[in-house]
């Protein structure tokens, strides 16, 4: 049972355009969401997060939007740069079962930014 879903395995965009990565979740106990970026042969690197009490969080070129009613979040990167090419993982954390530390990850989306 996949509680965090990233339905697009890959996404290709042109440099300078906007990249939009999507994530859906099913567990209503999740209350904190994170995006990680991962290059090949490296560990995931934290990018940006959002608490469920907010609907938007912005950090430079990266903005995360949360739609609680739809159980959907998205990561916007604008403008996209070739160095942004990586796998992006959506992750969620909540108080399900009393644990607020366990991250549940999606399968990831491979973003390719073409020069």
- Interacting residues with other proteins (CB under 8 A): 4, 6, 32, 34, 36, 41-46, 49, 51, 89, 91, 99-108
Residue among 45 and 114 whose Cβ is closer to other proteins: 45
Residues whose CB is less than 8 angstroms from the CB of residue 6 and which lie 6 or more positions away in sequence, other chains included: 21, 22, 23, 24, 88, 89, 90, 106, 107, 108, 109
Residue among 36 and 73 whose Cβ is closer to other proteins: 36
Q: Give least dist CB 69 to other proteins, A.
A: 22
The secondary element (H helix, E strand) that includes residue 77 is strand 72-77
3-state helix, strand, coil in the chain (%, to 5): 5, 55, 40
Q: Are 2 and 104 in contact (CB under 8 A)?
A: no
Residue 98, exposed/middle/buried by CB under 10 A (0-12, 13-18, 19+)?
exposed
Q: Give least dist CB 114 to other proteins, A.
A: 24
Q: Give least dist CB 65 to other proteins, A.
A: 18
Residue among 14 and 58 whose Cβ is closer to other proteins: 58
Q: Give least dist CB 93 to other proteins, A.
A: 8
Residue among 77 and 106 whose Cβ is closer to other proteins: 106
């Amino acid at each position: 049972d996949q509680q965090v879903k990233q339905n697009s395995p890959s996404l290709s965009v042109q440099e300078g355009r906007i990249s939009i990565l999507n994530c859906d979740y099913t567990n209503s106990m999740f209350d904190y969401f994170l995006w990680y970026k991962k290059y090949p042969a490296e560990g995931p690197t934290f990018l940006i997060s959002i608490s469920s009490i907010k609907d938007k969080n912005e950090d430079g070129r990266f903005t995360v939007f949360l739609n609680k009613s739809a159980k959907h979040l998205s990561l916007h990167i604008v403008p996209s740069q070739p160095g942004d090419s990586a796998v992006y993982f959506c992750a969620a954390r909540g108080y399900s079962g009393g644990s607020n530390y366990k991250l549940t990850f999606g399968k990831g989306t491979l973003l390719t930014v073409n020069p």
